[in-house]
A and B are shown apart, each in its own frame.
Chain A
Amino acid sequence: MGALTDSRKRLCSDHRQFPSFPPSPSPASKKPKLAPLHSLAAFPPSPPSPLPASSAAPGLPTAADASTSSTPLPHHHRRLPPPLPLQRPIHGPQRVIRAFRIGPARSKTSCFSPSTSSSSLSPPPPLPQSLGFEQYVELVNSISHPPPPIPSADAPRVVEVIAVEDEEERKDEEGEQEKEDEVKGRVVVARVPLYKELYEASRLHDARLRTLDFEVRLAEKSYLGLERLAEVLPQLTPKEVVPEPFVPLTDEDEDVVDHALGGRNRRERLAAHESSNIVITREILQCLKERDWLNDDVINLYLELLKERELREPSKFLKCHFFNTFFYKKVSIYFHDPDSVISFFILLYLNFISVDCRATNLLLVPCCITLDACYCYSIHTII
């Protein structure tokens, strides 16, 4: 409002003093005021030109004249605008620029009271002068558009701030990670040096961690022991190729079996065991066919073979004493008498005493029970 009153005053005074002043229909808006700025910006060094001094056609106000008429007359005293050798600062709302060493206070003062600023401010700064339209355009461009890489002193500061923020973020992240680790059961080993002491202190009171440490140490020690064992073991027990107990028969073996079981001559002697005087004929061996019963000769021969195997490799097998299948038959007679049990044990003892009882681990008594038609073994362990 003050501006409006000013303009009225100006208008009135202009009308009094200069009847040729163009009566603008609208009170002075800001656009026509800005127009001379353009002209000023277009001709910055233009001093108050002597050209419009005469104002050739005072009675004919034109638009072109209006632009020129606003230029102050040097010889006439006028309040507004002051005759500035300086360029006129910008009227209007200005963006407060706090960067690039342009203080807001200075810009304000320079904007709104250029005359007083020049007088009041003791150091006549070149800054308000530098705020011409070109500088303004430059400033606006530099602010509205992203500023190009400026080799100014502020740039590293910004970088520092960013770095500091990053560090803070890292710290926060680390703290979160530690919290997560703690939440997950406090098992994860801390890999961050930060807060390590607190973390270690918290781990000292964890019983589960202690047990885990103990298990880890135990596993390591057992592993070390096993390593030593692996070094020593080949020296202790040289490798022996143990044949598998059940090896599938080859074709030749199948032929032998077919010949032994499927021949025509039943009286043919297939095998004769000299020490036990057992002669195996085909008739005896054919009990090994399917759906046939075992007989005493086969069992006794098999037991004799077991004896021989034990004698051949005494370190590999238990020391056993095999009775033959008739031992139980012979002994079972005494079961009918009440005193027969004692005599049975006496007989057993007498039979057993002929064997080296101290070196025997097992007693095998094959029993053929004719009523049930089955073979079974009673195994006595001697400790």
Chain B
Amino acid sequence: MQAPAPAPEEDSKAGVKSPEFITIKVVDQEERRPVRHTIRTTDKLQVVMDRYYSEAPEVTYGTGSFYFDDIRLKGDKTPAQLKMEDGDIIDYFAPQIGG
């Protein structure tokens, strides 16, 4: 069972691209501890967001917004779609309320 398993991985490496592991750092603006998370490029970014929410208990889940190069991130996007590289930083912004 293990033998045929790497075969499709190799095929995918050869055919499309091998799923690379990249480490993404999520930084908020209050200079708290950055949250690092390593995911595949084909994984959804929702995993990173969940990790951040879990690491920062004071942040309510689902609030705030993540930005990468002035692009708001959606949970269903993958790093490959946004052309992320290893070591890129995602900015987290707490919800701004005013008026």
Contact = CB atoms under 8 A, between A and B. Distances in A.
Is the pairing of A and B real?
yes
Interface of A: 276-278, 287, 292-297, 300, 324-327, 329-330, 333, 351, 368-370, 372-375
Nearest to A372: B98
B29 A296 contact: no
A368 to B, nearest CB: 4
6 closest A-B pairs by CB: A294-B99, A368-B96, A296-B96, A326-B93, A277-B72, A373-B98
Contact of B67 (A326, A351, A375): A326
Contact of B29 (A287, A297, A330, A374): A330
Contacts, number: 58
Contacts of B91: 326, 330
B74 A294 contact: no
A277 B77 CA distance: 10
A296 B72 contact: no
Contacts of A278: 72
Interface residues of B, number: 17
A287 B54 CA distance: 27
Of B70, B71, B95, B96, most buried by chain A (CB within 10 Å of CB) is: B96
B67 A295 contact: no
Contact of A374 (B71, B72, B77, B99): B99
A239 to B, nearest CB: 39
B31 A333 contact: yes
A277 B70 CA distance: 11
Contacts of A375: 98-99
B98 A374 contact: yes
A278 B73 CA distance: 9
Main SS at interface, chain A? mixed
A330 B91 CA distance: 9
Interface string B64-99: 010100111110010000000000000101011111
Given A296-B96, A330-B93, 12 more contacts: A277-B71, A293-B99, A294-B97, A324-B67, A324-B70, A325-B96, A326-B91, A329-B29, A368-B96, A370-B98, A373-B98, A375-B98
Contacts of B70: 324, 327, 351
25 contacts: A293-B97, A293-B98, A293-B99, A294-B97, A295-B96, A295-B97, A296-B65, A296-B93, A296-B97, A297-B65, A300-B72, A325-B96, A326-B67, A326-B91, A326-B93, A329-B29, A329-B93, A330-B29, A330-B93, A333-B31, A368-B98, A370-B98, A373-B98, A374-B99, A375-B99
A372 B99 CA distance: 9
A236 B29 CA distance: 53
B82 to A, nearest CB: 11
A297 B91 CA distance: 16
A340 to B, nearest CB: 14
Nearest to B98: A373
A295 B93 contact: no
A295 to B, nearest CB: 5
A218 B70 CA distance: 59
Contact of B72 (A276, A292, A333): A276
Contacts of B29: 326, 329-330, 333
A370 B99 contact: no
Contact of A277 (B74, B93, B96): B74
Nearest to B93: A326
A165 to B, nearest CB: 92
Contacts of B98: 293-294, 368-370, 372-375
Contacts of B74: 277
Interface in B26-47: 29, 31
Contacts of B72: 276-278, 300
Contacts of B65: 296-297, 326
A365 to B, nearest CB: 13
Contacts of B93: 296, 326, 329-330
Nearest to A373: B98
Contact of B73 (A277, A326, A333, A351): A277
Q: Which of B31, B98, B99 has the most CB of A within 10 A?
A: B98
